[in-house]
Amino acid sequence: MTMHGGAGAQEEEEEEQEEMMQKLRSRATELLLKEDWNEYINLYSYFISTTSTSTYNGGSKLHKALPSAFSNRAEARLRVRDLPGALADCQRALDIEPSHVKALLCKGKTLLELHRYSQASETFQLVLSLQTHLSGNNEALREMIERSRKLEVQSKTGVFDISDWIMNGFGGSSPELAEYVGPVEVRRSIPGSGRGLFATKNIEAGTPLVITKAVVIGRGILPENDRESGVTARLVLWKDFVDKVLDVGRKCKRTLRLMYTLFNGEDDESELQVPEMALFNPNEKSKMVAMDEEVEELLLDVERILKVLDVNCLMEDAACARVLGKKSGYSGVGLWILPSFVNHSCSPNARRLHIGDRVIVHASRDVKAGEEIVFAYFDVLAPVKKRKEMSKRWGFECRCERCRFEEEVFLFKEELRKMDVRMESGFDAGEVVVGLEEGMKRWMVSKAKERGFLRASLFAAYAEVYKSDKMMRRWGKRIPTEISVAENMAGAVGGDERTMKMVLERLKKKRKSIASDQNVIEMEKALKLGKGVYGKVMKKQSMKLLFELHT
Ligand SMILES: C[S@@+](CC[C@H](N)C(=O)[O-])C[C@H]1O[C@@H](n2cnc3c(N)ncnc32)[C@H](O)[C@@H]1O
């Protein structure tokens, strides 16, 4: 081959490559406009595999395009939430070209989605140093750095504030909250309850314990009046939810591994493993990296995941949905990993607050180091008989302190049994409340906690009485003040929105008739109760606004 001939062949090859690149770019643009991310990923996968397997020629147009191809595929993978795939692609682009700005940006965004805040921040910083060098526009980048730093601080300190969002009438998207694991750890619970979450130090009411994003959340507005279409809509919602969970399990082996740590309803208790807390903590960088390698070969076991969903899914609280300003008929079901280790108790010390896709689990009363963190799976402001039915539907028999106490009292107190029956069949609320209050004195139920248990069981009667001026006048001093009852119940079964509402409505009525300094004292007490209900994630002013929404 002559020198001239060699150059000609090279030119021809370059032209061919240029043509191929043109085709790739125009097809990619087409798919980008259609937002057909899966085809976009396929297109780049084809390009990457053919180029990578062709004879290496670092100087060829195709090989030079490889980092951008990986980076483009990473962007699309990030779009379809294949986060490990996106991260691996960014890394491959950066292995070839360490300062590839697009790949670095995508890596930063992916790390943020994976809740690896400090790594994300470091990556954006690196882009900033490159950009400063290239003198580009850095505004958006600075925002990303700011955002990742804010999330990093939140996830390390547990200090969150959603006041602005509340004060703005829940406008715009819900506030972004970092993944957070507070002073808690998974341990074995009492025999028969598997594993549970435990406090590792003394905790004050309102303190966030766990904040985490749902693996998937399924939401819909269900028809309220037509039972049949309601059932169908519920099934459709569930199926869609399950499909999404399985999709996540296929794409993200790390999440799949975490889902496999959850109880499936059939596991033998002795075989249940206590997972390391590092698995759930975004600040444990080395654990996260090791886990990505460890889970590479993990396979999706659909049957097991279905069982896991059955036992661990939570409904977004209707009360919380109201807080979020959702319409009636709204239903949301989700899977949150670490909260799935929380057992049920009828005298809970924790509550859930749902903000967007995140759940905040916070202490609803003061908790001592070593105490098990428990929240309510169902309504616990109900008589013991009803609660028993509900726990049976959940597949377990609740043997919490409150259930054991009430069962024992019921065995001996005929009057209490009668009251319970009266609650079911049209009752005179005043008579029930006075009957219980005076009965507790006769039966010498002197412990505040035990009084709180019994009052919480007959909550419906208390709520009814405090609503009615007529009943309050009729029974006078034989009915204790609503704030003392609410405080007592909060100490025994934790804060609850309905107890809060009961207090606020009464406060509103009394406001005109009591001295203003008394008003201030009562409001302070209400705010303290509010901390147990909503948690310490808002300032006083925004909590007062929530109070107004309730009355
Ligand atoms: C979401 S899981 C809670 C964590 C579970 N204990 C574990 O080891 O993974 C729900 C299951 O825990 C058990 N459980 C929760 N609360 C319980 C309770 N109060 N008494 C007995 N079992 C309980 C039941 O088997 C229930 O189906």
Domains and CATH numbers, the chain: 2-114 (1.25.40.10), 167-375 (2.170.270.10), 384-549 (no CATH)
Q: Is the CB of 344 under 6 A from ligand 1?
A: yes
pLDDT at 197 exceeding the cut of 90: yes
pLDDT at 134 exceeding the cut of 70: no
Q: Is the CB of 472 under 6 A from ligand 1?
A: no
**Which pLDDT belongs to residue 321?**
45
Q: Is the CB of 388 under 6 A from ligand 1?
A: no
**Which pLDDT tens digit goes with each residue over 105-120?**
999 999 999 889 999 9
Best probe residue, ligand 1, of 195, 312, 343 (max atoms within 8 Å of C-beta): 343
What is the pTM assigned to this prediction?
A: 0.87
Between 136 and 247, the higher pLDDT residue: 247
Nearest protein Cα to ligand 1, atom 13: 193
157-166, 498-507, 516-525: which range is least confident on average? 516-525
From the CA of 341, give the closest atom in ligand 1: 4
CA–CA separation, 123 vs 99, rounded Å? 11
pLDDT at 529 exceeding the cut of 60: yes
Q: How far is CA 162 from the centre of its chain?
A: 15
Q: What is the CA radius of gyration of the chain?
A: 29
Residues 125-152: what's their mean pLDDT? Answer: 86
**What's the one-letter identity of residue 349?**
N
**What's the one-letter identity of residue 37?**
W
Nearest protein Cα to ligand 1, atom 4: 341
Nearest to 287 by CA among 114, 79, 465: 114
Best probe residue, ligand 1, of 186, 187, 193 (max atoms within 8 Å of C-beta): 193
pLDDT at 533 exceeding the cut of 70: yes
Residues 130-134: what's their mean pLDDT? Answer: 72
Q: How far is the CA of 519 from the centre of ligand 1 (A)?
A: 43
Residues 23-33: what's their mean pLDDT? Answer: 93
Nearest to 31 by CA among 72, 60, 62: 72
**Which pLDDT belongs to residue 17?**
78
CB 416, CB 409: distance < 8 Å? yes
pLDDT range class, residue 330, cuts 50, 70, 90: confident
**Which pLDDT belongs to residue 302?**
97
Nearest protein Cα to ligand 1, atom 7: 195
Q: What percentage of the chain has pLDDT greater than the value 90?
A: 62
Q: Is the CB of 260 under 6 A from ligand 1?
A: no
pLDDT at 122 exceeding the cut of 50: yes
Pairing of strands 343-344, 372-375: parallel
Q: How far is the CA of 511 from the centre of ligand 1 (A)?
A: 44
CB proximity list for 224: less than 8 A, separation 6 or greater: 230, 328, 329
Nearest to 405 by CA among 441, 462, 456, 331: 456
Q: Which residue has the tokens 């028999």?
A: 397
CA–CA separation, 498 vs 371, rounded Å? 25
**Which pLDDT belongs to residue 152?**
94
pLDDT at 456 exceeding the cut of 70: yes
Tell me the backbone φ, ψ of residue 312, rounded to 5 degrees.
Answer: -115, -10
**Which pLDDT tens digit goes with each residue over 363-413?**
999 999 999 999 999 999 998 889 999 999 988 999 999 999 998 887 677
From the CA of 269, give the closest atom in ligand 1: 8
346-350, 371-375, 516-520: which range is least confident on average? 516-520
pLDDT range class, residue 1, cuts 50, 70, 90: very low
Between 444 and 120, the higher pLDDT residue: 120
CB 354, CB 324: distance < 8 Å? yes
**Which pLDDT belongs to residue 2?**
41
Task: Count Cα atoms within 13 angstroms, Cβ side, for 38.
Answer: 1
Residues 233-237: what's their mean pLDDT? Answer: 88
Q: How many residues does the chain have?
A: 551
